[in-house]
Structure formats: structure tokens, C-alpha cells
Amino acid sequence: MSDTVLNRRAESPATENFPSPIVTIDARDWRLETVDPAWIDALEEGKVLYFPHLAFRLKEDEHRFLNPDINAEGSRSITLETGGRFKGVAGDEAVQAAVAAMVGRFRADAQQLVDSLLPHYRDSLRMATTSYRPKQVETRIQTWRADDKRLHVDAFAGRPNHGERILRVFANINQEGVPRVWRVGEPFEEMARKFLPRLEKYRPFHARMQQLLRKTKKLRTEYDHLMLQLHDNMKLDEDYQRNAPQLTMPFAAGSVWVCFSDHTLHAAMSGQYMMEQTMHLQPENQYDSTQSPLAILQRLTGRKLV
């Protein structure tokens, strides 16, 4: 795929002076032999690291799982949780075991990539869910809040995280050459400056009630409140979705990309068959702890948020 295609911009009038949020890395092995410190800086600043030649390779008998019908009815994706629980597969025990092995192998590859890319994280990074998404993005029917085709940062109503980072490794395993197309937005701080003045005030009593009623798994801090509000307001703002600075990025079949999805403004527009590994990190364990949504929002608001 040509550089022209890889760096194609969305048709937005605000993109003229918009620096590319994509850093392309020519690596072909999941264990990186050398790491440029600039890659780490870019990742922690909210950019996307793109590995166009780093493929997650399927075994011959795994190609049969490139079928949306492998996803059990009612499940958005196939998931392997950290405790070993595996769900979302339609099929008998042999099929379940074979898909679980495929997903588990991706987990090991993703961890190897992150360990070699970010050795400072190694002792503090917490592995989370591994997912296989066999369904076509553009045909998904979702509510506006769940619609990942709208620019957003990841924040979850029922799962406050108190500033913990969300690091994700993605792999496009489509075997027909179909890219996974994203829109990638402007820097987090620029977006936050636009939306913070319009956000509702945090109400501690309301947050405690949400926890008591078990609508949230733990107390929603002011940080979680602001992140959820930013997520929702971005998705609801049609003008922002159309005209905000953004890049349309087709991640090629047989490629991998990495980003902090709580920091990188992103929207998944099209594609089918993707693997995804989620990891969590406390912001104080970053190389540069000032480069986190928590640090940015505390600086902009002038107060402690967790």
C-alpha cells in the first residue's frame, strides 16, 4: 500500500496543519531488537504506533475461524479473560479449544511486543482481556454511546478506572486484503480544552449512589466523570465528528498497531477480523507521567481528580 494511501486525510477543513498521529515502524518480529525512544514518547503522547509488516499468522486449520458465525449469537466478540474464562464462541468443545488456543497465542505475541517495546512497564503492566472480533464493523447496529464509528476516547460508564491507562495492541488478521479503517483525531489536550467548559459538574453524592446501587463497579471519581462526559459529548457532537482535525487511516491486512485508547481519539469505520489485547497501567508507571489523560485534565482544571 502506498504512502499516499497510508496517510490519507479525512475531508475536514481543520486538517491543514494537523500533524500525523501515526508513527510507522518497520518491524517484522514480535520481539523488537532495537527501540527508538521517540516511539515511546509518541505512544505516551497519544499517537498510534503502526507496524505494517508485523502479522499475526494463523495456522492452516485456523482459517476456518475467519467466519462471523464463529461468534456466538448475542456476543459482540470472542474474549479470553485473565482468569482463563473463555466466551463468545459458537461451536463444540473442540472448536472452543481451538479458538481459545488461537486467541491465547495472540495474547503471548502481544505481550512479547509490549515487553520489548516498553521494558519500563514490564513489572507494573496488568494484562486484561484478549478479544477476537470476527464481525464486520460497518454493519454493526449500536446505540450512539456504543457506536465506535464515532470519534471517542475509551471510558466506560460502569467501570471507573481512577486514571489507570488503557493500552491496546490490535492486529488485522483479514486474509482477503481488507484494511481496518480508523479515523484518528487531534491531540487529547486540544479536544479537552474545547469540551471541558460544556461538561456537567461532578456530584460526589450522585457518584456514591451509583456505586451503592451497583451501577458502577467502584466509585466514579471526578476523573472518571470527566472522561465519560468527554466520551459522550464527542460522540454526540455531529459537527465535531465531521469537522474536527482527523486522519483516515487504513491499517492494512496483516498489520499491527498499538495505542493508549483512553488518550488517542479514534473511530473504527470498517473492516472485519481483528485481534485485540488490552493492558492496564497506572499513570505514575509511565516513562513520562505527565503524558496521561489524568495529568492533562488535572492541569487543565487546576485540581486533583482522583
- pLDDT digit string, tens, across residues 205-237: 999 999 999 999 999 999 999 999 999 999 999
CATH number of the domain that 294 lies in?
2.60.120
Q: Classify residue 177 as left (phi > 0), alpha (psi -120 to 50) or beta.
A: left
In a domain, 5, yes or no: no
Answer whether residue 4 shows pLDDT above 60.
no
Domain that holds residue 53: 21-300
Q: By C-alpha distance, which of 203, 207, 166, 173 is closest to 188?
A: 166
The model's pLDDT over 84-123, given as tens digits with 9 standing for 90+, comes to 899 999 999 999 999 999 999 999 999 999 999 999 999 9
Helix (H, G, I), strand (E, B) or coil at 244: coil
In a domain, 178, yes or no: yes
In a domain, 3, yes or no: no
141 or 232: which leads in pLDDT: 232
Percent of the chain with pLDDT over 70: 94
The model's pLDDT over 6-58, given as tens digits with 9 standing for 90+, comes to 343 444 545 656 789 999 999 999 999 999 999 999 999 999 999 999 999 99
**pLDDT value for 6:** 34
**pLDDT value for 282:** 98
In a domain, 8, yes or no: no
Answer whether residue 141 shows pLDDT above 90.
no
In a domain, 229, yes or no: yes
In a domain, 305, yes or no: no
Mean pLDDT of 245-251: 97
Mean pLDDT of 182-199: 98
- Asked whether the CA dihedral 257, 260, 264, 265 is positive or negative, the reply is positive
**pLDDT value for 8:** 39
| Tally of domains within the chain | 1
In a domain, 7, yes or no: no
**pLDDT value for 142:** 79
Lowest mean per-residue pLDDT among 69-78, 139-148, 265-274: 139-148
Mean pLDDT of 195-201: 97
Answer whether residue 259 shows pLDDT above 80.
yes
**4 Cα distance to chain centroid:** 24
Mean pLDDT of 179-192: 98
In a domain, 1, yes or no: no
Mean pLDDT of the chain: 93
Mean pLDDT of 59-78: 94
Strand blocks (E) in the chain: 22-24, 48-51, 78-80, 86-87, 126-133, 165-172, 180-185, 246-251, 255-260, 266-270, 274-281
C-alpha cell at 112: 512479547
**pLDDT value for 139:** 82
